[in-house]
Chain A
Amino acid sequence: MSTQIQTPPNRTAPVLSKKQRKLLSDPIGDTNPITIQVLGICSALAITTQMRTSLVMALSVVFVVACSNVAISLLRNGIPERIRMIVQLMVVAGLVVLVDQVLKAFAYDISRQLSVYIGLIITNCIVMGRLEAFALSNRPRDALLDGIGNGVGYGAILMVVAFFRELFGAGTLFGYQVVPQAFYDAGYRNNGIMLTPAAAMFIIGIIIWIHRARRPKLVDIS
């Protein structure tokens, strides 16, 4: 994230403390919601056929996780214990409907492509997972960072998966043809399996494998 300004000139406390920077960066790597916590898999399988839809989905999830984290963190001392989950769900659902309506008004074509999956952010386990695990017991500022970090961690995996699926499944990236026509003339064909959710499962599996092979400390903690 570009907000990580290291040291202001007067050498007072940095804008983000070390702990806060970790809140932002950990979910992108060591506590990644998809590859380590294995949350949010359903939408990661469903919408990653194209990079453009994945990007909009990623941004929507960043917005929803960050805002709901802040909202719940602000409310955390007043929420009645017994209806805690319902309150969370209501905040999340409200934000998701808002995102859906805004997309319909300002990005009509993309909202039609993402169809039901925007609405399904409500049931994305990452969102409620962060509310329960973090926002309920932390200050709004930290909750915001945690939300952005987790949203970006989710979105980054989405983009990686979509990159491979769109490239090998359709020969395009962001809708632009990148596999030259000469390849097709020479007998190259798009890989149909890349368009099916099964391919996303394989790619996520491979990402998890590489991730853990490079970071042995992650093995067995999940």
Chain B
Amino acid sequence: MHSNKYTVIYASVLTAVVGASLAVAVSGLKPRQERNALMANRRAILQTVMDVNPQTLEADYPALVTERVFDLAGQEVSGVEAFSLNLRDEARKTRAEQRLPLFVFSRDGVKRYIVPMQGAGLWGPIGAYLALEADLSTIYGIAFSHEKETPGLGAEIDRPFFEDRYKGKKIYDKGAKLEPVVVLRGSGNNTAGMPHAVDGLTGATITLSGVSQMFRDELSRYDRIFASIRPAQ
């Protein structure tokens, strides 16, 4: 049996060694990880509107996308970096203080508006970039992301076959009233003729109700912003 003193010293030294080596590894890898995350964000934004070539991504993005920031009343705010906004923190602020980013893609006279969204899945946060056509109602494309959804079930939301189901759906009804897209329960639903619904995924009910909720929450915050952009076209 070792003495108490030995045990305490052993534990302290081991903690220091493991802690220090992890600290070195984490801080050494951090720039790479942050770059990965930023590139993944930019790629996700562009992916909603075009085929992304990873080689030219770095040059394409600034050339094609304008980052704009608005307040909830639809007024454009200057001096705020769109990517510096943490959507979850913004949603907790008072309505007057919230700042919402909007990414405007334009190429050859074609405009697309890309809305970032965040919500809650089954195990953790989920998010999406939603690309709208120039009418600000028809969905041109969407890219979902998630952190901890179950692989093979909820995690399928970021797969193209699911994202493609949103194409052509509408977030405004004929009377120009907000009517976000909802996900139907289970899979195999026929959604032809239903502009505000998409087919679901078996085994991912809670993740998908989070997706529907995210559409309701986030798009209602962008309602005034869309209204302020629409006449300016």
Residues of B contacting A97 with CB < 8 Å?
22, 26
Q: Interface residues of A, CB < 8 Å — how many? A: 37
- Those 7 A-B pairs whose CB atoms lie nearest each other, nearest first: A49-B152, A80-B7, A108-B36, A105-B29, A105-B32, A80-B2, A94-B18
With A50-B151, A104-B29, A105-B33 as contacts: A83 and B10 at CB distance below 8 Å: yes
A-B contact pairs, 15 of them (CB 8 A): A46-B150, A47-B151, A49-B153, A50-B151, A53-B151, A82-B2, A94-B18, A97-B22, A101-B29, A104-B33, A106-B32, A108-B36, A113-B155, A115-B147, A170-B152
Residues of A contacting B187 with CB < 8 Å?
192
Residues of B contacting A116 with CB < 8 Å?
123-124, 148
**Which A192-216 residues sit within 8 Å CB-CB of chain B?**
192, 195-196
Residues of A contacting B40 with CB < 8 Å?
108-109
B203 CB, nearest partner CB in chain A, Å: 5
With A49-B151, A105-B32, A115-B151 as contacts: A192 and B203 at CB distance below 8 Å: yes
B1 CB, nearest partner CB in chain A, Å: 6
A33 CB, nearest partner CB in chain B, Å: 21
B127 CB, nearest partner CB in chain A, Å: 12
Residues of A contacting B10 with CB < 8 Å?
78-80, 83, 87
A98, B29: Cα distance in complex, Å? 10
Interface size band for B: 20 to 34
Residues of A contacting B14 with CB < 8 Å?
87, 90
A91, B124: Cα distance in complex, Å? 27
Q: Does A102 contact B (CB under 8 A)?
A: yes
Q: Does A81 contact B (CB under 8 A)?
A: yes
A101–B33 CB distance below 8 A: yes
The proximity string for A residues 70-93 relative to B, scoring 1 for CB distances below 8 Å and 0 otherwise, is 000000001111110011001100
A81–B1 CB distance below 8 A: yes
